[in-house]
Amino acid sequence: MKKVGFTWLQEKLNIQGFRLTHESYIGTMDKTELSSTNTVVRTFKSKYDVSIDNPMSHLEFALKYDDLNLAFVREVFTSVKHQTILDYIKANPNRKYPRIIGFLYEFTVGKSIQVDITTTNYEDILDSSRYITGNITKISKWKVNDNLLGSKKFCPVIRKTTELSELLDWNIKEAIENLKHKYSPEIFKRASYYLYKKESKSSSEIEKEEPSQDRMERFIALLEEAGQKPFEESLSEKELVRLQNVIVDPRYADDGFRDFQNYVGQTMRDYTQKVHYVCPPPQFVKSLMQGIVDLNKKHTSTETIIKTTMVSFAYVYIHPFEDGNGRIHRFLIHDILVRDGIVPNSTIIPVSAQILAHIDEYDTTLELFSKLIERKVKYDINDSGEMTVNNSSEIEALYRFPDLSNHTVFLAKALQSTINKDIPEELLFLQCYDELKGDIQSIVDMPDNKVDRMIMFLHQNKGKLAGRKRKFYKELSDNEIEQMEQAYTQVFEREWGSRDVVKS
């Protein structure tokens, strides 16, 4: 089979490090297969063949049929002579793809092309049936509709895979409203307190930290503030510094975005560093953060899950502080959900618990980006552990133009599972708790603290009062305790069936 499109360009131009999500070939029959690495491999009949070895012809094919990767496209442009690009566009300036190529060249490389276009028909940069798109900005020079997700400072790509399209069909706001109709406001209010604590605890566990109770309470207080400030203010340097200062140990509080090169790694037994992720060089941090802020202008009506993914994952990849980035990353998820009115102000979706429960999948998702950086970056680390990146200009586009398709799928699944499973379980538990409390008090009218402790003991031992706990209820007869155990079984087994719902 003959390579074509990005597959041909990768080999011909010797573009290293990228793992294409779609490979194209020319063969004898049309077929599409999925490789062991989840790459879509499509074979086209000979009529699709690009007969000349012109990189621009293969780029046009790729824009039609392959998965768009803006960082890869930029590397194609920088690997080809400027005159080759100019000649290709000027040969047919009114055709769709030469115009799109011209726009993408200026967008990704930053160099201008002088061209005379006379057509009045505007063409979309992204095919909305294949990609998530942003609000349209008409570019009169190229007669194109810029419906990319971001700006030159930061512009992710999110592909409309079958899985993602199905997840986006799920109505997150409706699912939460259904829960509010099913359970009383009082139970919802009580559940919210537990869910805030769960989010704070899980977020710390992801970082493998055990913060003090004071720091946990401060993070909960931040979560309760979420969504109250305008988008631009919540992502301003001043506001993010405030969040970071609240979250971290005061000794590691920053007074601004970092001006040094940082990385995520671990010290090995021989005291060398195993680097897992190289963060953007410091000279790119402020413009990348501004790129996140600018997303709001392109997404006045975009799905909340899309906005949440772009902002939260972009933030954690930029890593603007020395410490606290992970917890702010997860705070931003909640912040956008509240601001968009998906989650009521007094409620939280404890998505960190789902991340923790699927930490391997979460790490794999993050590694889709970090491994790409690892394959492309060149750096030195001195004896003090300080890193110097030696090819900043070569890797800049990787940070500015990431593919966040898999990240969106992961977050959408995590939110769906949280709303369909975690929150209903907590609401149902509290409902059962209240019913059981009334049943126990009808057996023996005990003080509230005695009843609460009895329910806790029964729940810890699957409905039976453990022998070592009997000493706390010397005043009760064996028959009364047996009645309480039966009441527990009736209430919880009726609602929960055989599910194990023991809470820590």
Give me the percent of the chain exceeding a pLDDT of 70.
Answer: 97
| pLDDT of res. 391 | 96
Both 393 and 450 in a single domain? no
Angstrom distances, CA of residue 498 to CA of 426, 482, 492: 16, 21, 9
Q: What is the pLDDT of residues 2-33, one digit of tens each?
A: 999 999 999 999 999 999 999 999 998 899 99
User: Do 419 and 456 sit in the same domain of this protein?
Assistant: no
- Tokens describing residue 243: 């969040």
Higher pLDDT among residues 501 and 355, named by residue: 355
Same domain, 392 and 479: no
- Res 495: pLDDT: 65
**For the chain, what is the mean pLDDT?**
91
Read off the pTM. 0.89
Query: What pLDDT does 270 receive?
Result: 65
Residue 499 has pLDDT above 60, yes or no: no
Cβ partners under 8 Å of residue 196, min gap 6: 220, 223, 224, 348, 350
Residues paired with residue 144 on neighbouring β-strands, in sequence order: 123, 139
Mean pLDDT value across residues 309-338: 94
CATH of the domain at 337: 1.10.3290.10
Residue 501: which pLDDT band, with cuts at 50, 70 and 90? very low
Instruction: Answer with the one of 423, 452, 487 that is the final residue of a domain.
Output: 423
Q: Angle 162-166-171 (CA atoms, 0-180°, nearest 5)?
A: 155
Same domain, 244 and 392: yes
Q: Among 423, 456, 484, identify where a domain stops.
A: 423
What average pLDDT does range 459-483 have in this prediction?
93
449 and 410 fall within a common domain:
no
Q: What is the mean pLDDT of residues 413-435?
A: 89
Within this chain, do residues 451 and 410 fall inside the same structural domain, yes or no?
A: no
Q: Give residue 423's pLDDT.
A: 87
Least confident of 46-55, 110-119, 269-278, 475-484: 269-278
Can you tell me the mean pLDDT for 302-309?
92
pLDDT tops 80 at residue 419: yes
Beta strands at 2-4 and 263-267: parallel, antiparallel or unpaired? unpaired
On whether residue 435 sits in a domain, the answer given is no
Task: Name the least confident of 211-225, 286-300, 414-428.
Answer: 211-225
- Name the pLDDT band for 190 (thresholds 50, 70, 90): confident
Scored b (16 or more CB within 10 A) or e, 216-233 reads: bebbbebbbebbeeebee
Q: Which ranges of 319-447 would DSSP assign to H, the alpha helix?
A: 325-339, 351-357, 359-376, 392-400, 405-417, 423-443
The mean-pLDDT minimum among 63-77, 401-415, 457-471 falls in: 457-471
110 inside domain = no
CA atoms within 13 A of residue 72's CA, in its CB half-sphere: 27
* 295 lies in the same domain as 257: yes
pLDDT at 213: 78
Q: Which one, of 403, 294, 412, 307, lies nearest residue 354 by Cα?
A: 412
Residues 35-78: pLDDT tens digits? 888 899 999 998 888 878 899 999 999 999 999 999 999 999 99
CA-nearest of 322, 321, 297, 265 to 310 is 297
Residue 170 and residue 235 in one domain: yes
Same domain, yes or no: 351 and 482? no
Q: What is the mean pLDDT of residues 75-87?
A: 96
For residues 200-207, give the mean pLDDT: 79
Is 117 a residue whose pLDDT tops 90? yes
Q: Is residue 179 part of a domain?
A: yes
The answer on pLDDT for 504 being more than 60 is no
Mean pLDDT of 279-291: 97
Partners of residue 381 on adjacent β-strands: 387
Instruction: Determine, yes or no, domain membership for 231.
Output: yes
Let me know if residue 296 belongs to a domain: yes
Band of pLDDT at residue 404, cut at 50, 70 and 90? very high
In a domain, 20, yes or no: no
Within this chain, do residues 364 and 488 fall inside the same structural domain, yes or no? no
- The model's confidence at residue 372, banded by pLDDT at 50, 70 and 90, is very high
Q: Does residue 380 have a pLDDT over 90?
A: yes
Do 227 and 290 fall within a single domain? yes
> In the chain, how many domains are there?
2
> What band does 268 get if pLDDT is binned at 50, 70 and 90?
low
Q: What's the whole-number mean pLDDT along residues 395-415?
A: 96
Taking phi over 0 as left and psi of -120 to 50 as alpha, with beta for the rest, 30 belongs to beta
Structure-model confidence comparison of residues 232 and 183, the more confident one: 232
Is there a domain that residue 112 lies in? no
Residue 469's domain spans which residues? 444-496
Same domain, 259 and 311: yes
Of 390, 423, 456, the position where a domain reaches its end is: 423
| CA-based nearest residue to 112, from 86, 143, 94, 146 | 86
What pLDDT was estimated at residue 206?
A: 79
Residue 156 covered by a domain: no
**In whole angstroms, what is the distance from residue 486 CA to residue 480 CA?**
10
Question: What is the DSSP track for 415-431?
Answer: HHHIIIIIHHHHHHHHH
